[in-house]
């Protein structure tokens, strides 16, 4: 007989105010005790099987569209725009858009940008390498994804700064103060929309070799993406593809400051990057969780989740599940992953940009390892507050280059 989730006796989990180590310990203790835990806003699943189970269950819908409502925003246009994003669409509507755009985000499409990615990283390293030290977050991770997204979409170099500013402002939606930040978020969103609409008009008459032109041309059984859908996809790509990549790269390099052998290997053998990226995303993922709500009364594992119940899925805790990974807390870049790490999510909303993100990380690491040898921390890593959705170092002070006679030589 099934029980309603509200009536179950469950571990209580409230990580608010805990530091990272305490929060992780609490999540892991909850995972060991039960597959489900109660949190202030709803429930959470922490085991690999259930995180995948909930994310693949189409009756659970993305909770992203609920952020503005939960923050008390009743601006209809703003809320509709969030609901019409690929990130919060569901069912046939979502499947149709994914089918139309999937070829534009294939590994082959991402591979074409690899030389450009190396060029961008090299250019950014040129800016600080002679100093022998840097803050990798400000000097490299922050600026890195914008040129890639612009190149992908087909926006020229002189507009990189515009995209960077729009991304920063649109991202305020995750800062926990949407009500006050709304005018900035809206202004950025409207400017981006006007820019993208103009680009679409131009590409419709003279197609180029870029994502926007491919998406305009994408057709399946006579069906095409509308201009509104194209605008929404460009905004989704900018939103989902910048801060994620920045933080993941910073998390990965932060981890590697503890593993000089891996850093040295990456410099010699770029093919080591693929395993390093997967293991670092498993071990220290920048997206630590996502959330769903029950779109109807749902029975899952003999438990009834009444319509509207919020269920968080802890990707980070599932990535360290001992049921799936041997010795899960050990960072081992040679590990054979029995199952795919979950930092890109799972199910219908699985990261559309995963191939591009993997390529960005795989191209950045060997260039950095080659140009910043003998990498070491040059102070303390400052981590973002635990409450932020997309998480990583706020500051990553590094020194590099062989030290000789008190002089730092860069390479
Ligand atoms: C390391 C970098 C990245 C990480 C960790 C990451 C992670 C994720 C996760 C966890 C989801 C699923 C969210 C959910 O289920 O609620 C997602 C979705 C998405 N990601 Fe990424 N992402 C990254 C990079 C990118 C890039 C570079 C792009 C675009 C170029 C991108 C575009 C998207 C889009 C459009 C979705 C929504 C897909 C859908 O709802 O069907 N992401 N990403």
Which whole number is the average pLDDT over 326-336?
96
* Ligand 1 close to Cβ of residue 356 (< 6 A): yes
Rounded Cα distance between 298 and 306, Å, is: 6
* Ligand 1 close to Cβ of residue 287 (< 6 A): yes
Query: How does pLDDT run across 241-277, given as a tens digit for each residue?
Result: 999 999 999 999 999 999 999 999 999 999 999 999 9
* Ligand 1 close to Cβ of residue 351 (< 6 A): yes
Query: How does pLDDT run across 20-76, given as a tens digit for each residue?
Result: 888 889 999 999 999 999 998 899 999 999 999 999 999 999 998 777 677 677 777
- Residue 76 confidence (pLDDT): 73
pTM of the complete model: 0.94
Q: Is the pLDDT of residue 409 over 50?
A: no
Query: How does pLDDT run across 142-172, given as a tens digit for each residue?
Result: 999 999 999 999 999 999 999 999 998 888 8
Report the percentage of the chain scoring pLDDT > 70: 96
The range of the structural domain enclosing residue 17 comes to 3-408
Three-state secondary structure of the chain:
CCEEHHHCCCCECCCCCCCHHHHHHHHHHHHHHCCEEEECCEEEECCHHHHHHHHHCCCEEECHHHHHHHCCCCCHHHHHHHHCCCCCCCHHHHHHHHHHHHHHHCHHHHHCCHHHHHHHHHHHHHCCHHHCEEEHHHHHHCCCHHHHHHHHHCCCHHHHHHHHHHHHHHHHHHCCCHHHHHHHHHHHHHHHHHHHHHHHHHHHHCCCCCHHHHHHHCEECCEECCHHHHHHHHHHHHHHHCHHHHHHHHHHHHHHCCCHHHHHHHHHCHHHHHHHHHHHHHHCCCECEEEEEECCCEEECCEEECCCCEEEEEHHHHCCCCCCCCCCCCCCCCCCCCCCCCCCCCHHHCCCCHHHHHHHHHHHHHHHHHHCCCCEECCCCEECCCCCCECCEEECEEECCCEECCEECCC
Q: Which of 351, 352, 357 to mutate for ligand 1's pocket (most ligand atoms within 8 Å of CB)?
A: 351
* Ligand 1 close to Cβ of residue 289 (< 6 A): no
* Ligand 1 close to Cβ of residue 286 (< 6 A): yes
- Residue 218 confidence (pLDDT): 86
Atom of ligand 1 nearest to the CA of 94: 41
344 to 81, 251, 286: CA distances (angstroms): 23, 15, 10
Determine the distance separating the centroid of ligand 1 and the alpha carbon of 76, expressed in angstroms: 25
- Residue 403 confidence (pLDDT): 45
* Ligand 1 close to Cβ of residue 104 (< 6 A): no
Q: What is the mean pLDDT of the chain?
A: 91
Say how many domains are in the chain. 1
Atom of ligand 1 nearest to the CA of 62: 16
Q: Is the pLDDT of residue 110 over 60?
A: yes
Q: Is the pLDDT of residue 317 over 80?
A: yes
| CATH assignment of the domain containing 349 | 1.10.630.10
Reported as a pLDDT band with limits 50, 70 and 90, residue 78 is confident
Lowest mean pLDDT among 144-158, 327-341, 385-399: 385-399
Query: How does pLDDT run across 178-206, given as a tens digit for each residue?
Result: 778 888 999 999 999 999 999 999 999 99
Determine the distance separating the centroid of ligand 1 and the alpha carbon of 341, expressed in angstroms: 14
* Residue with CA nearest ligand 1 atom 1: 245
- Residue 406 confidence (pLDDT): 36
């Amino acid at each position: 007989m099934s029980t309603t989730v509200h009536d179950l006796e469950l571990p209580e989990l409230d990580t608010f105010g805990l530091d990272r180590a305490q929060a992780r310990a609490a999540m892991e203790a909850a995972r060991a005790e039960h597959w489900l835990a109660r949190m202030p806003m709803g429930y959470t699943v922490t085991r690999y099987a259930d995180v995948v189970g909930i994310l693949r269950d189409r009756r659970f819908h993305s909770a992203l569209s609920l952020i503005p409502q939960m923050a008390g925003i009743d601006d209809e246009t703003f809320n509709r725009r969030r609901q019409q994003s690929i990130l919060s669409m569901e069912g046939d509507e979502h499947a149709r858009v994914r089918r139309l755009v999937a070829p534009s985000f294939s590994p082959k499409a991402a591979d074409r940008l690899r030389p450009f990615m190396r060029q961008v990283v090299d250019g950014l390293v040129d800016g600080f390498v002679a100093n022998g030290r840097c803050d990798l977050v400000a000097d490299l991770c922050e600026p890195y994804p914008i040129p890639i997204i612009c190149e992908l979409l087909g926006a020229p170099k002189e507009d990189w700064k515009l995209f960077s500013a729009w991304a920063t402002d649109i991202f305020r939606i995750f800062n926990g103060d949407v009500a006050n930040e709304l005018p900035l978020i809206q202004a950025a969103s409207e400017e981006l929309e006007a820019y993208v609409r103009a680009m679409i008009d131009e590409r419709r008459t003279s197609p180029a070799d870029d994502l926007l032109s491919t998406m305009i041309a994408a057709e399946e059984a006579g069906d095409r993406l509308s201009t509104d859908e194209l605008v929404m996809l460009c905004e989704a790509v900018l939103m989902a593809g910048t801060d994620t990549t920045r933080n993941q790269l910073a998390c990965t390099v932060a981890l590697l400051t503890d593993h000089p052998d891996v850093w040295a290997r990456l410099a010699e053998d770029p093919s080591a990057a693929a395993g390093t990226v997967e293991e670092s995303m498993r071990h220290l993922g920048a997206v630590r969780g996502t959330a769903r709500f029950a779109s109807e009364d749902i029975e899952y594992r003999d438990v009834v989740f009444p319509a509207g119940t919020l269920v968080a899925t802890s990707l980070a805790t599932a990535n360290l599940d001992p049921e799936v990974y041997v010795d899960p807390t050990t960072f081992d870049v040679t590990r054979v992953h029995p199952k795919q790490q979950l930092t890109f999510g799972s199910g219908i909303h699985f990261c559309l940009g995963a191939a591009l993100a993997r390529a960005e990380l795989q191209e950045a690491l060997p260039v950095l390892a080659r140009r910043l040898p003998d990498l070491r921390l040059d102070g303390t890593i400052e981590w973002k507050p635990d409450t932020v959705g997309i998480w990583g170092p706020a500051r990553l002070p590094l020194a590099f280059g062989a030290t000789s006679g008190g002089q730092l030589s860069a390479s």
